[in-house]
Structure 1
Amino acid sequence: MCQGQESSQVSHVLFFIPFVMTSFLRYCVGLDISKDTLQVCLSVIDSSGRVTVKATTKVVNKPTGFCALVNWVARHRKLELPLNYLMESTGVYHEAVAWYLYQQDQPVSILLPNKAKHYLKSLGYKSKNDKIDAQGLSRMGLEQQLPLWKPLSKNLYALRLLTRQHQRLQELRTQSTNQQHALEHGAFDNGFITKQLANLVKIYDQQLTALEEAIAQLVDDDPILKPRIERLVQIKGLALLSVAVLVAETNGFEGFTNQRHLVSYAGYDVVENQSGNHSGKTRISKKGNSRLRRILHMPAFNAVRFNEPTCKALYERVYQRSGIKMKAYVAVQKRLLLMAYALWRHGVKYDPLYLANQASQDKKIVPTSGTTQDQPAEAELSYL
């Protein structure tokens, strides 16, 4: 081949390289939600990973605005590609639009605000406004595979409203009783305030009793919830109110594929602080649903007090190792949560001696590598 022919072929190859086209993969609509408005950003990602903003707008946070949002997205969605909506869980302001989109068969993902915040920081954004937040959410939805949101059933939603109202009234009652205690032991007393506080406590007690009756009635009327919750209340330490909070705050344990996800959601996951020769304090993250940790506080004490076998053994083991009672009780809280999750997921009855029976069976099994006859394989214990 002569030199002229070789150069012409090379130039021919190089000529077609710039015209290699990248295909688009999917759309994502980022929604930054406030009380009155929805800041919207529609973006698309191509096969090379490049994200392009197609359009932005703002609509009112009302049913008319939700309809306008869907129509606006349809006009700017030029290609028949997969589409997803991504928003933050901003109190209750996101619930109406999320429900509307779900009823329109639109895929929706909902993030905790701290996750979106850290993602925007990782992109190097220094400013913050509604438009930037919407673009960041849109980009995040394209670059990550986020789980789809599934709403609560009507009964679970009602149960969550009842249990959260019970918590608020219980906190107000505690404040009033603390004020009563302060007046009784102070240098000066005021009979008028003392009488008011006594009346408040009486009203709170009546309202709390009414809420507990409403929770019991709701569970009793639901043929699906009733048998499942009755199995959970058989665990020593867990009463109806505790189980109702666990079920309502976890959406009936829906969406948790394993125990690790549930532990992280409740804030019981362990955070280490170690680097090189430095060894900091190891603790639980507490970055999760605080209502779960709050409602499991007293059941953990009761489970140990009434000698629930699994929890009692765990408490003694952790307390003997650490010498800190509260750390042992926190371990019991986590155990109660996982026991409830196992019973709910598998639909089995509560067996207080399950672990003891399982351990005795493991001792009879010929040991494999990594286990001995005196050390049962804890990986097989589903309650752990």
Structure 2
Amino acid sequence: MKIKYVVGIDISKDKFDVAFVLSQLDKTPKVIASRKFDNSKKGHLEFKDWCLKKQKEDLPVEFVMEATGVYHEKLAWFLSDNEVPVSIVLPNRAKAYMKSLGIKTKNDKVDAKGLAFMGACQSLAKWKPISKAFYTLRELTRFLEDLQKDRTSMVSRLKGLKHKAIVSEKVMEGLKAVIEGLDEQIRICEQEIALAVAKDPELKKRIGHMMSIKGVGLLTAVTVAAETNGFALIENERQLVSYAGYDVRQNQSGSREGKTSITKKGNAHIRRIMFMAAFNMVTYEQGQFKPFYERIHNRTKQSMKGYVAVQSKLLRIMYALWKNETDFDNNYGLRDKSNQSKNQLKTVVAA
């Protein structure tokens, strides 16, 4: 373990706590200083100056923060723009590390210290923003999701209104106008998503790899890419499954075997878009997904478990296509255009 400074950052909407730690060879990391800053442009500049003053030796400085909704993003971009190494860890990984240290107290200051110790003791991957287009795409896909939910709600209300004993024509006209307005906004939003992808050649290429799976449309591929920031925080399939909330919760004690279920402690936007993709693939018998669904359904006697299994499998395949920059072959599994990692990719499909 090399001698270096590590700065742990626990961030929230308005503030972020910082622990400035010295990592030494074969010694417990030492906290040099700690402080709280405003999560604003002014606070970020003050944080930068403060770190420079604390760096009294000619040692490298690394920054570690937790992925906290969207609140960490501005500071992460600020650090990246200043060309300093920053690592962003998933919440479940940070929590597991804190638990391994036996730390029971939980507050912002303690969490910042824990993140700093994590960076000092582990070799963390450095965060590399792939494209600012992902942030625009995520806003667009989430806005589209809200529009679709609102439209479904208005359509249901309109249908219910028609069955009432006394129908208000004004209300009916108003609902129809709202639905028409939502349809127009949905159309505009879909156009903006397609345009954003078309403007970024690298993104367009990788989205195309995921869409090579027959049944995966533009919106499904873009939503998955945007919600994972181009899989930038994902190191393996297991992590991806956990991030999306498809990891299984065991319910077993002694000889008792209870029902198992997915945790759903993950990105709900991914699960929502993957449900429709999986449903369509099973319904229209695309590739290997219908037989796979039937095997799960026959074993568990629960159709939803079959669909969830298809969702998880499909998501893992999309991840492999993105990472390996290859297309999907419905007849032979995954086909690697560069003829590398072919066996590994086929294993992903067969899993």
Q: TM-score, normalised by structure 1?
A: 0.78
Give the aligned partner of residue 267 of structure 1.
Answer: 245
For residues 132 and 156 of structure 1, the distance between their equivalents in structure 2, rounded to whole angstroms, comes to 32
Structure 2 counterpart of 1:239, which letter? Answer: G
Q: Structure 2 vs 1, CA of residues 59 and 127 (structure 1 numbering), >3 Å: closer, same or farther?
A: closer
Asked if structure 1 preserves the Cα contact closer than 8 Å seen for 2:5 and 2:21, the reply is yes
Asked if structure 2 preserves the Cα contact closer than 8 Å seen for 1:301 and 1:329, the reply is yes
For residues 137 and 224 of structure 1, the distance between their equivalents in structure 2, rounded to whole angstroms, comes to 33
Per mean C-alpha deviation after superposition, the further-off stretch among 110-119 and 88-97 is 110-119
Asked if structure 2 preserves the Cα contact closer than 8 Å seen for 1:236 and 1:302, the reply is no
The alignment of Structure 1 onto Structure 2 pairs a total of residues equal to 342
For residues 356 and 27 of structure 1, the distance between their equivalents in structure 2, rounded to whole angstroms, comes to 43
For residues 258 and 127 of structure 1, the distance between their equivalents in structure 2, rounded to whole angstroms, comes to 28
Structure 2 counterpart of 1:292, which letter? Answer: I
Asked if structure 1 preserves the Cα contact closer than 8 Å seen for 2:244 and 2:270, the reply is yes
Cα deviation code 1:63-91 (max 9, x no counterpart): 23222212211211233334222223333
In structure 2, the gaps of 5 or more residues are 336-342
Cα deviation code 1:89-127 (max 9, x no counterpart): 333332111111111121212234455456556644446
Asked if structure 2 preserves the Cα contact closer than 8 Å seen for 1:266 and 1:289, the reply is yes
For residues 192 and 254 of structure 1, the distance between their equivalents in structure 2, rounded to whole angstroms, comes to 50
Asked if structure 2 preserves the Cα contact closer than 8 Å seen for 1:116 and 1:137, the reply is yes
2:124 aligned residue (146, 158, 183): 146
Give yes or no for the alignment of 1:328 onto 2:294.
no
Give the aligned partner of residue 133 of structure 2.
Answer: 155
Give the aligned partner of residue 297 of structure 2.
Answer: 319
Give the aligned partner of residue 52 of structure 1.
Answer: 30
Per mean C-alpha deviation after superposition, the further-off stretch among 195-204 and 292-301 is 195-204
Offset, 1:37: 3.2
Per mean C-alpha deviation after superposition, the further-off stretch among 219-228 and 168-177 is 219-228
Asked if structure 2 preserves the Cα contact closer than 8 Å seen for 1:273 and 1:280, the reply is yes
Structure 2 counterpart of 1:180, which letter? Answer: L
Asked if structure 1 preserves the Cα contact closer than 8 Å seen for 2:214 and 2:286, the reply is yes
Matches within 5 A, 1:279-318: 279-318=257-296
Structure 2 counterpart of 1:75, which letter? Answer: K
For residues 27 and 160 of structure 2, the distance between their equivalents in structure 1, rounded to whole angstroms, comes to 63
Q: Structure 2 vs 1, CA of residues 34 and 338 (structure 1 numbering), >3 Å: closer, same or farther?
A: closer
Give the aligned partner of residue 247 of structure 1.
Answer: 225
Cα deviation code 1:318-349 (max 9, x no counterpart): 11211111111111112221232233333333
In structure 1, the gaps of 5 or more residues are 1-22, 358-376
Give yes or no for the alignment of 1:206 onto 2:184.
yes
Offset, 1:206: 0.6
For residues 37 and 114 of structure 1, the distance between their equivalents in structure 2, rounded to whole angstroms, comes to 21
Bigger relative contact order, structure 1 or 2, given CA contacts below 8 A and separation 6+? Answer: 2
Asked if structure 2 preserves the Cα contact closer than 8 Å seen for 1:355 and 1:381, the reply is no
Structure 2 counterpart of 1:162, which letter? Answer: L
Q: Secondary structure at the match of 1:141?
A: helix
For residues 138 and 344 of structure 1, the distance between their equivalents in structure 2, rounded to whole angstroms, comes to 31
- Percent identity, aligned pairs only, is 42
Give yes or no for the alignment of 1:71 onto 2:52.
no
Give the aligned partner of residue 156 of structure 2.
Answer: 178
Give the aligned partner of residue 383 of structure 1.
Answer: 349
Structure 2 counterpart of 1:259, which letter? Answer: E
Greater radius of gyration (CA): 1
Q: Secondary structure at the match of 1:31?
A: strand
Offset, 1:311: 0.3
CA RMSD of aligned residues (A): 3.0
Asked if structure 1 preserves the Cα contact closer than 8 Å seen for 2:206 and 2:325, the reply is yes
Give the aligned partner of residue 340 of structure 2.
Answer: none
Give the aligned partner of residue 363 of structure 1.
Answer: none
1:235 aligned residue (203, 210, 213): 213
Q: Structure 2 vs 1, CA of residues 185 and 123 (structure 1 numbering), >3 Å: closer, same or farther?
A: farther
Offset, 1:295: 0.4
For residues 227 and 251 of structure 1, the distance between their equivalents in structure 2, rounded to whole angstroms, comes to 15
Give the aligned partner of residue 108 of structure 1.
Answer: 86
Offset, 1:356: 12
Offset, 1:212: 0.8
Matches within 5 A, 1:128-139: 128=107, 130-139=108-117
